[in-house]
Structure 1
Amino acid sequence: MAGYTVIRSLSQTIKQILNHAEYPISVNGAQQIRRLQEKADQFLEYLIEFGVEGSRLERRIRDAANEAEDVIEHWMHEHIRSTAAGLAPDVEYDFGELNMAMEEIYSLDQEVDEHIQQEMAKLYARPRPRPRRVVMLQPSPTPTPAVDSFTAVGLEEQVDKLRDELCGISIGMTTLAITGMGGSPEESVKHFVSTNLAFATAIKSNGKVKSCSIHDLLRDLFKRKALYENYERRISNSHLDLREVARGYASTMRTIISFQRNESSLRGLRKFKLLRVLDLVDTDAYSLPASVFDLFHLRYLAFGCPMEVPSSISRLQNLRSLIIRPSKRSRKYRYNSRDEVYLPLEIWMMPLLTHLVSFFDLLPNPERAASALKELHTLSVVTKLICTEEMMELICNVEKLSITYFGDRYQQDYQLHNLALLSQLEKLTLVVKEGSHLLQTKAKPVFPERLKKLTLSGWRFPWEDMKAIADLPYLEVLKLRDHAFQGHTWETDSEEDEERLFDSLKYLLIEESDIEKWEAEKRHFRGLERLVFKGCANLSQIPKYMRYIHGLQLIEVDRANLTLLECFRQMQVTRNDMWVKVLIIREL
C-alpha cells in the first residue's frame, strides 16, 4: 500500500532528526515534530485496519506525508550544508514550511475519525453469518460466445454459472472461489494456468528464490498505477541529461539509475537534494562528481570501478549500501587484478554502513581513529583482508564475508584463524588466485561455529583438513571450487563410532577437482538434499549408502564424467524402485 509505505518513511525520518544531537531544534520545533510523529503513528494504524488502497482519503494521506517529509529532509539537508560552510540555517523559515504541511495533516484527522466510526458501525451492524455453500469454478474446455458487455476467454460457461449463483435465491451464505491468471510496474489471456505473474529467475543452493521477475502485464499495471497516484519518484536515465531532468523532478526524486556515458551529465546531481538511491555503475566517469557528497539523505550508492573514491565519502552519514562494481568501461578489457583501487580510511567513519560490496578495492588497514562498523552485515569481494584481532572487532557483526587473495603477490600471514572471532558470520567465501601453494601453508582458516554457507576456491588444501569443516554444526551449503582441496581420496571416516559429520549439510558442490574416490560412513551427510559435480573427470565412485539418504532429491553431473553420470542413473532406478523419495539425475 503506497500510503502505508510513505507514512513509514516519514516516521523513520522523524526519528532520525529527533534522535541525533547534530540537529539543534528548538523546544517548540521538537514538540511540533513529535506531534507529527503521533499523527503518523495514528495514520499507520488507520491504514492497517481500515485504509483502502487508491481511495481518496488514502491518496490525501500519502500526499500530505510526502510533503511533510520533503520539508523535513530539505531542512536536514540545508542544515548540514550550512553547518559545513560555517553558517546558521534559517530554522524559522523551514518550520514555517512545516506548519503549512501540518495544516493538511490536521485537516485529515476528522475525516479519518469519521471513516473509522463508519467502519466500526458497519462491523457491529453486520448480521451473523449463516451456513455457507461453496461453489468452485473451473475453466471451460470449449470457449463459447462472450457474455454481456465483457469477454472472459474460456470461462463463458462458468460466467453463466456465476450469474445464476449471484442472482438466484440462496438460503445461506455462498462462497465463490475464482482461480486463474488475470489478463489485460486489455488482450485475451492464452497462458531523500501455466504462466505466473511473478517467477523465479535464479535459485539459491538451498532451493530458495534468489531473484525474481514480474510478468510484463503486472509491470505495466504497476507503472500505470504509480503514474496515476503520483507516486513515481524514481527515474532510469539513459537518454536525458540529468540537468534537464532536474528542472521538473529534482524536488521529489528519490531514485536515479543512470546509464549516461558523458561525465558532464552527472553535474545536475547537486539539485536532487532528497535523493536516496543513486546507481552510476554503467557510466564512464572516472571520478564521482563532488555534488554526490552533498546528498546527505543518500542510502544506496553504486558506481563503476576503476574510479577514485575520495575521503569525502564519509560525509554520506546516512549511507547504508556502498556498491563498487565493474563498469561497462572496465568490461571492455580484462581487468588487471594488479591494479589496486583503495577505499579511503574514512570508510571507517560511516556508522550506518550495512552493505559494502567492493569488487576490486582494498579495505584500508584501520588506524586508532577508526570506529567499529557495528551495522555492517555484508563485506563482499574485498581483497587482501588481513584478519587481525583489531579488524575482526571493527566488523564484529558481519554476517556475509567474501575475500579474494592473490597468492603470488602477498606472501604474508593473513591471520585467518581470527575468523573464528566473527560470531555472527553465516556466509563465508574465501578465494585464492595465482600461487595458491604459497598460501596453504601460511593461511589456515578457523571457521566460526555459526557458519551456514562456505565457499572455498583455489586453496589446494589436503583432504585431511576437511575435518575443521565437517564439525561445523550449522553448515548447510558447502561449495568447493577450483581445487579447493586436492588429493585422490576423500575419506570422512571418524575415530569415534558415534560421531556424525556434516550433519546439517544439504548442498554439496565439487567443481574442478582431481578427486578419484570418496568414502564416508553411513552416519555422515544424513541431511544431504543436492549433490553437484563439475569438472570431476577422475571421480569413479561415491559412498554407496548415499542412494538410501531419504532427503536426497537431486544429483547434477556435467559431461566431464559420463561414467559417473550413468552410475547415478542406475542408482536412480534402484532408489525409485525402493519407494524412497524420488531422485532426479540431471546432466549439466
Structure 2
Amino acid sequence: MSESLFIVSRLRLLRVLKFSDRKGYIGTLEFLVQLRYLDIPYLSLQMSERLENLEFLFVTGGQTTNPVFSNMPKLRHLDLETPSRVSKDWKIPQTHSLETLSGVLVYNFDDEKILRCFPHLRHLKCHYDKSWNDCPDLSFLTQLESLKMTFYGWKLKFGEINFPTNIKKLSLSRSFPCERMSSVGKLPNLEILKLEYLNFEGENWNTNDDEFQKLKYLKLRSLAFERWNTSGDHFPTLEQLVLESCIYLKSIPSELGYIPTLQMIELHSCSIRVRESALKIKEEQEENGNEELKVIIN
C-alpha cells in the first residue's frame, strides 16, 4: 500500500475532501464511507459505489461522468464543471432527492426523461445542443427556483417553451430565439432575469402589458438588438437594470424612469447613445422630484 493510500485509509471518518489531480485518489475512495463533500477531477462508476453518505459532489474535469445514484441516496448537489451529457448509464432510482444539478448536456427526449428522475430539483444549469430543434418540457420540475440554460446553435427555431412556473431566477445564454421571449415574460414568479449573448441582431425587443409583473432585477449582456419597445407598466416592480456591452442599442426607453420601484441603472461598456439616454432619464426624474434614482456608468 502506498504512503498516500495508507494515510487516506486511516481517515475513515473524513467528511470533506478535495483532490487537486487524478493521481492521488485512484483506489482511495473505497475507504472514505463517511464523506459528505467531495471535489474531484474525475469520477467513474466504480468510484461512486461506496459514497452512500455523500451530499455534495463537484467534478472539475472530464466530459463523461456516470455516478451510481442508487448508491448515493443522500446526494443533494451535483456540479459538473465540464458540460457532460446525461448518460443512460446513470443508475437512478425512480425518484431521487437531488436539489442542485449543474453542467448537464441535453440532446434529446431521452435526456429529458432522465431529468424527470429528479422531481425535487431546485436549481438547474443545463446546455442544449443545436442538433435538437426542440426544447424539452421542464414544467414537471415544480420545485425549481432557478434555471440557467445555454443554447448552442445559430438562430434556433422551436415551438412553445414550457418553463416551470415557480421559477424566480432565470438566465438564458446564446441562441435563445427572440420570438420566444413572451414565454419568459409570462412566468408569474420571475424576480431575476439575465439575458446574455442572445442573437437578437437587427431585431426589436417588444414587451407587453402582462409580462414581467414581479421582476426586480434585469441584466442584458451583449444583446445585439437595436430598439427596446417597452413601457414602465411592463416592468412594474423593477428595482435594478444592468446593461453590459449592448453596443447596438440606440437608447434606454425613457418610460422606464417612471417605474416607482426603480432604484438603479447600471451601464458597462455601452455606447454613447445609451449612456446619454440613462443620464437623461436621471435628469428627468430629478426634475420631477425623484432624487433616489442612481445611474452608474463604467
What TM-score, normalized by structure 2, do the two folds share? 0.89
1:73-472 alignment runs, 5 A limit:
265=4, 268-280=7-19, 283-286=20-23, 288-304=25-41, 307-325=42-60, 341-344=63-66, 346-360=68-82, 362-366=84-88, 370-384=92-106, 386=108, 388=110, 390-407=113-130, 411-412=131-132, 416-433=135-152, 435-437=153-155, 440-442=156-158, 445-462=161-178, 464-472=179-187
SS of the equivalent of 2:214 reads: coil
1:394: how far off? Answer: 0.5
Mapped to 2, the partners of 1:368 and 1:570 lie a distance apart of: 56
- Residues 100 and 123, structure 2, Cα contact 8 Å, conserved in 1: yes
Mapped to 2, the partners of 1:393 and 1:529 lie a distance apart of: 35
Identity across aligned pairs (percent)?
28
Mapped to 2, the partners of 1:460 and 1:369 lie a distance apart of: 31
Return the letter of the residue paired with 1:478. Answer: L
Mapped to 2, the partners of 1:271 and 1:567 lie a distance apart of: 65
SS of the equivalent of 2:57 reads: strand
Higher RCO (CA < 8 A, seq sep 6+): 2
Q: Which residue of 2 aligns with 1:577?
A: 287
Mapped to 1, the partners of 2:67 and 2:265 lie a distance apart of: 47
The structure with the largest helix share of the pair is 1
Return the letter of the residue paired with 1:350. Answer: M
SS of the equivalent of 1:342 reads: coil
Mapped to 2, the partners of 1:284 and 1:392 lie a distance apart of: 30
- Residues 534 and 560, structure 1, Cα contact 8 Å, conserved in 2: yes
Return the letter of the residue paired with 2:164. Answer: P
1:564: how far off? Answer: 1.0
Q: In the TM superposition, what whole-angstrom CA distance separates every residue of 1:157-179 from its partner, at most 9, and x where no partner exists?
A: xxxxxxxxxxxxxxxxxxxxxxx
**Residues 412 and 574 of structure 1, relative CA distance in 2, 3 Å threshold:** closer
Q: Is 1:491 aligned to 2:206, yes or no? A: yes
**Residues 370 and 310 of structure 1, relative CA distance in 2, 3 Å threshold:** closer
Mapped to 2, the partners of 1:428 and 1:484 lie a distance apart of: 20
Q: In the TM superposition, what whole-angstrom CA distance separates every residue of 1:110-159 from its partner, at most 9, and x where no partner exists?
A: xxxxxxxxxxxxxxxxxxxxxxxxxxxxxxxxxxxxxxxxxxxxxxxxxx
Return the letter of the residue paired with 1:430. Answer: M
Q: In the TM superposition, what whole-angstrom CA distance separates every residue of 1:29-73 from its partner, at most 9, and x where no partner exists?
A: xxxxxxxxxxxxxxxxxxxxxxxxxxxxxxxxxxxxxxxxxxxxx
1:467: how far off? Answer: 0.9
- Residues 475 and 505, structure 1, Cα contact 8 Å, conserved in 2: yes
- Residues 345 and 366, structure 1, Cα contact 8 Å, conserved in 2: no
1:518: how far off? Answer: 0.7
Q: Is 1:566 aligned to 2:276, yes or no? A: yes
Return the letter of the residue paired with 1:455. Answer: S
Return the letter of the residue paired with 1:476. Answer: E
- Residues 308 and 341, structure 1, Cα contact 8 Å, conserved in 2: no
**Residues 375 and 515 of structure 1, relative CA distance in 2, 3 Å threshold:** same
Runs of 5+ in structure 1 lacking a partner?
1-242, 244-262, 327-339, 494-498
- Residues 345 and 364, structure 1, Cα contact 8 Å, conserved in 2: no
Mapped to 1, the partners of 2:15 and 2:34 lie a distance apart of: 6
The structure with the largest strand share of the pair is 2
- Residues 82 and 103, structure 2, Cα contact 8 Å, conserved in 1: yes
SS of the equivalent of 2:21 reads: coil
Q: In the TM superposition, what whole-angstrom CA distance separates every residue of 1:355-397 from its partner, at most 9, and x where no partner exists?
A: 0001115254346963045321100122236454532331111
**Residues 391 and 285 of structure 1, relative CA distance in 2, 3 Å threshold:** closer
Mapped to 1, the partners of 2:121 and 2:173 lie a distance apart of: 21
Mapped to 2, the partners of 1:570 and 1:348 lie a distance apart of: 59
SS of the equivalent of 1:555 reads: strand
1:521: how far off? Answer: 3.5
Runs of 5+ in structure 2 lacking a partner?
none
Mapped to 2, the partners of 1:421 and 1:364 lie a distance apart of: 18
Q: Is 1:477 aligned to 2:192, yes or no? A: yes
Mapped to 2, the partners of 1:287 and 1:412 lie a distance apart of: 39
Return the letter of the residue paired with 1:300. Answer: Y
Mapped to 1, the partners of 2:159 and 2:81 lie a distance apart of: 22
- Residues 351 and 372, structure 1, Cα contact 8 Å, conserved in 2: no
Return the letter of the residue paired with 1:470. Answer: G
- Residues 575 and 583, structure 1, Cα contact 8 Å, conserved in 2: yes
SS of the equivalent of 2:22 reads: coil
Mapped to 2, the partners of 1:349 and 1:532 lie a distance apart of: 44
- Residues 362 and 385, structure 1, Cα contact 8 Å, conserved in 2: no
1:500: how far off? Answer: 2.6
What TM-score, normalized by structure 1, do the two folds share? 0.47
1:456: how far off? Answer: 0.7
**Residues 264 and 582 of structure 1, relative CA distance in 2, 3 Å threshold:** farther
**Residues 530 and 427 of structure 1, relative CA distance in 2, 3 Å threshold:** same
Q: In the TM superposition, what whole-angstrom CA distance separates every residue of 1:100-119 from its partner, at most 9, and x where no partner exists?
A: xxxxxxxxxxxxxxxxxxxx
Mapped to 2, the partners of 1:484 and 1:398 lie a distance apart of: 29
**Alignment RMSD (CA, Å):** 2.6
Q: Which residue of 2 aligns with 1:159?
A: none
Aligned length: 297
1:570: how far off? Answer: 2.2
Does 266-275 or 362-371 show the bigger shift?
362-371
Mapped to 2, the partners of 1:445 and 1:511 lie a distance apart of: 22
Mapped to 1, the partners of 2:214 and 2:127 lie a distance apart of: 27
